[in-house]
Amino acid sequence: MMAQTNSAPFIEVKNVYKRFGNYLAVENLSMHIERGEIVALLGRTGAGKSTVMSMLMGSIGCDAGEVRVAGVDPSVDFHALRGKVSVAFQTDRLLPWRTAVENVELGLQILNRPKKETREAALQWLERVKLKGAEDKYVHELSGGMRQRVSLARALAVDPELVFLDEVFSQLDHVTSQVLRKDFAQIVRDVGKTCVFVTHRIDDALDIADRVFVLAPPAQVCLEIRIDAAMRKNPEVLAGLHDQIERAIGGDETEDVSPSKEEL
């Protein structure tokens, strides 16, 4: 295992390639992400966002090149990242037989944290995501937005260094999604976590990311944008960035450009 030097980026992707059969999904991708950054991987369907995130999470390895998270290869040294990385998905993946607080406790239980500490942390996180009063509700008693809040609390409760979010805002209506992503970004900034999130929605990225990597197949960074708080408050700047991204991804970001898996 390679130790991380202070100057090394927290996440490093160097000249990475990934094939699925004959299909080249990632071609010579390089990117750096610093500790504490909120980074969006944005692109149309088939751009390679999930593949890149899966490689960063270590759930798939790359064919060539290097992926390093906190100095280790996540697909090889995944034990070194245990408890340091967490993930929330598009669908909340909550356990229906558990209450909200019991769902938040799950990650802490897997890490064998003491029972009292686990309950206290889960309750604190539920309060932080604005679900005080809903602790004992079962999943079917919660709205879609509340479920995603539970899912985000569960991801953050283990006190990870790095949080991955896979389209967590995209199944919610526009207003719910907007409120949730702003609350989430505030929490992540307050606690100083690094966050990498995948989205196909330009507004998700512009609303919360410090940096946006716009990907086009085969996972090429066709545009990289830095955004700060002042830019976010300026509607003209935001509209300009929106147009720039739309041009980079070729108009409608939801249109499918990838071959179907059956064609491969």
Residues that bind ligand ATP (CB under 6 A): 20, 23, 25, 43, 45-51, 200, 258-259, 261, 264
Dig out the tokens for 224 from the structure.
């990289």
Helix (H, G, I), strand (E, B) or coil at 117: helix
Of 240 and 250, which CB lies nearer to ligand ATP in the complex structure? 250
**Nearer Cβ to ligand ATP (161/246):** 246
* Least spacing, CB of residue 96 vs ligand ATP, in Å: 25
Closer CB to ligand ATP, residue 129 or residue 249? 249
Q: Measured between alpha carbons, how far is 115 from 59 in angstroms, rounded to an integer? A: 29
Q: How far is the CB of 26 from ligand ATP (least distance, A)?
A: 8
Least separation in angstroms between residue 93's CB and ligand ATP is 16
Q: Which H or E run includes 50?
A: helix 49-57
Per the CB < 8 A criterion, the answer to whether 162 and 9 are in contact is no
> Cα–Cα distance between 17 and 65 in angstroms, integer?
6
Q: Which residues contact 141 (CB under 8 A, 6 or more apart)?
A: none
264: Cβ contacts below 8 Å, ≥ 6 apart: 20, 21, 22, 23
Residue 20 CB, nearest approach to ligand ATP (Å): 3
Shortest Cβ distance from residue 45 to ligand ATP (Å)?
A: 3
Read off the DSSP letter of residue 91: S
Q: How far is the CB of 259 from ligand ATP (least distance, A)?
A: 6
Closer of 23 and 138 to ligand ATP (Cβ): 23
Closer residue to ligand ATP (CB): 105 or 167 = 167
Q: Please tell me whether the peptide bond between 218 and the residue prior to it is cis, using omega within 30 degrees of 0.
A: yes
Nearer to ligand ATP, 28 or 45 (CB): 45
In whole angstroms, what is the distance from residue 170 CA to residue 200 CA? 8
